[in-house]
Amino acid sequence: MLPVYRHKDTLIHGLHPVAALVMTLTLAVCALLLENPLYVAVICAAVIALILAADVWEECKVFLRIGLLVGLLMVIINPLINNQGAHIIIYGPRIPLWGHLDITLEAILYGLSSALRVFTVIAAFGLMSTIINPDDLLDIFSRFSSRSSLSAALAVRLYPSMVSEAKEIREVQLARGMPLKGGSRWSQVKAHTPLWYSMFQGSLDRAASIAESMTARGFGSGKRTPLRRRLIRPRDVMVVLLSLGVLGVTIAAVIMGRGSYSFFPTLENPLSNLSLVTLVTIAIVFSVIVIISRSWKRWHWWRSKI
């Protein structure tokens, strides 16, 4: 479940962390603010296109599966607990203190629309996790809360090593004939006690080593200096401006009441309250980013310019 980051030769991986963060958060915020299914469908298509352009489909599979699972649960549960809507498909039994358990067309479509929104948001955060280096992301937040960011960075760094160490200790215990499997719960607890003791002792040793290395490097003695500076390039400015433009158009559509959609009691025409400017802006902006990303990988002259 930990985000898997692997640097790849794509424009999206080469973005400044702030630019990539603004782009992915814009997608998630727009999916949450806009209720019309047409908006959400375009945003979802933009997220999938960016995942393919960044060549992180395999890395994002776990997030996409979680989004599909959550969306499927919403599609199944919503019609069962929400009996609003004028078009009843199935007449259900009457439940005391609840009423008739009817399944309506509006409730099914509302569940599908909500599932698509949730899937889009999860996919957007999956994209963010796989195109932004965790060290760069923690470095951004360390400017606002250095101690919390340091704790998060140490946790992210030490967790994989602890899992690997626990696996090795468990294999050694099994090789020595320790009854780690089978038996009563109490016998399993007794058999696993040396494992947890070794893990606890190893964590204390790692903590002491990290504290000594931080003291030797002068942590807390003065103002920190960065190891390397990330340059702001034309592509970063372009992505930030385009993303903020999409966010501004989305907020304007919501303020003017052009981002909402009514499912109950009857379905509203999705084209009646649609802001064509907002829809076209979202489609064009992220299409431009995908096209530039693909051309950036093929044309070395274009890469050197942006």
Query: pLDDT, tens digit, for every residue of 124-163?
Result: 999 998 998 877 877 777 776 667 767 766 776 677 677 7
Mean pLDDT in residue range 51-58: 93
Rounded CA-CA distance 136/141 in Å is 9
Judgement on whether residues 51 and 76 belong to the same structural domain of the protein: yes
243-301 tens-digit pLDDT: 999 999 999 999 999 999 999 888 898 888 899 999 999 999 999 999 999 888 787 77
Judgement on whether residues 35 and 120 belong to the same structural domain of the protein: yes
- Decide if 9 is inside a domain: no
How many domains, in total, are found in the chain? 2
213-259 tens-digit pLDDT: 878 877 777 666 666 667 889 999 999 999 999 999 999 999 999 99
Question: Considering the chain, what percentage of its residues have pLDDT values greater than 70?
Answer: 90
**Strand stretches in 39-111, DSSP E:** 88-90, 94-95, 99-100, 103-104
**Strand stretches in the chain, DSSP E:** 88-90, 94-95, 99-100, 103-104
Contact assessment for residue 247 and residue 24, using Cβ atoms and an 8 Å cutoff: no
Rounded CA-CA distance 251/257 in Å is 10
| Domain span including residue 54 | 17-132+232-305
Contact assessment for residue 74 and residue 33, using Cβ atoms and an 8 Å cutoff: no
Judgement on whether residues 30 and 128 belong to the same structural domain of the protein: yes
Specify the pTM.
0.78
Non-local (6+) Cβ contacts of 52 within 8 A are: none
Contact assessment for residue 180 and residue 191, using Cβ atoms and an 8 Å cutoff: yes
Q: 185-216 and 146-175 are packed helices; what angle lies between their axes, rounded to 10 degrees? A: 130
Judgement on whether residues 93 and 167 belong to the same structural domain of the protein: no
Strand partners, 95: 99
Rounded CA-CA distance 157/135 in Å is 10
